[in-house]
Amino acid sequence: MPTECTPGSLVFQAARGREVVARFDGGTLTSDGGALLLREVERVTRTVAQFATCFTDHRDPRRVEHPLATLVAQRVFALALGYEDLNDHDALRADPLLAVVAGSADPTGHQRRRARDAGKALAGKSTLNRLELTAATASPTARYKKITVDQDAVDRLFVDLFVQAHAAPPTEIILDLDATDDPVHGQQEGRFFQGFYGHYCYLPLYIFAGEHLLCARLRSGGVDASAGATLELARIVTQLRATWPAVRITVRADAGFCRDELLAWCEAHAVDYVIGLQRNSRLVAAIDDALREATAACTQSGTPDRQFRDLVYRTRRGWSRARRVVAKAEALPGPDGVKANPRFVVTSLPPELLDAQPLYEQLYCARGDMENRIKEQQLMLFADRTSAATLRANQLRLTFSAIAYTLLAALRRLGLAGTRLATAQCHTIRLTLLKLGARLRVTVRKVWVSFATGCPHAALFAAVHAQLRQRG
One-letter-per-residue 3-state SS of 296-312: HHHHHHCCCEEEEEEEE
What span, in angstroms and rounded, lies between the C-alpha atoms of 346 and 277?
Answer: 6
Of residues 5 and 252, the one with the higher pLDDT is: 252
Q: Is the pLDDT of residue 19 over 50?
A: yes
Nearest alpha-carbon partner for 105 in 51, 67, 76: 67
Tens-digit pLDDT profile for residues 407-442: 999 999 999 999 999 999 999 999 999 999 999 999
* C-alpha to C-alpha distances, 179 to 221, 237, 292, 371, nearest whole angstrom: 10, 19, 34, 10
Tens-digit pLDDT profile for residues 340-368: 999 999 999 999 999 999 999 999 999 99
Q: Is the pLDDT of residue 1 over 50?
A: no
Q: Is the pLDDT of residue 3 over 60?
A: no
pTM of the prediction? Answer: 0.94
Nearest alpha-carbon partner for 374 in 211, 174, 225: 211
Proportion of the chain above pLDDT 90, given as a percent: 88
Tens-digit pLDDT profile for residues 81-92: 999 999 999 999
Q: Is the pLDDT of residue 2 over 70?
A: no
Tens-digit pLDDT profile for residues 131-167: 899 988 888 888 888 999 999 999 999 999 999 999 9
Q: Mean pLDDT across the stretch 25-42?
A: 94
Those residues whose C-beta lies under 8 Å from the C-beta of residue 377, and which sit 6 or more positions away, are 206, 213, 216, 383, 401, 402, 405
Check residue 270 and give left, alpha or beta (phi > 0: left; psi -120 to 50: alpha).
Answer: left
What per-residue confidence (pLDDT) applies to 5?
A: 53
Of residues 471 and 249, the one with the higher pLDDT is: 249
State the amino acid at position 183 in one-letter form: P
What span, in angstroms and rounded, lies between the C-alpha atoms of 215 and 157?
Answer: 10
What per-residue confidence (pLDDT) applies to 288?
A: 96
What per-residue confidence (pLDDT) applies to 4?
A: 52
Q: Mean pLDDT across the stretch 11-28?
A: 91
How sure is the predictor about 7, in pLDDT bands with cuts at 50, 70 and 90? low
What span, in angstroms and rounded, lies between the C-alpha atoms of 357 and 284?
Answer: 17
How sure is the predictor about 336, in pLDDT bands with cuts at 50, 70 and 90? confident
Those residues whose C-beta lies under 8 Å from the C-beta of residue 462, and which sit 6 or more positions away, are none
* C-alpha gyration radius of the chain: 27
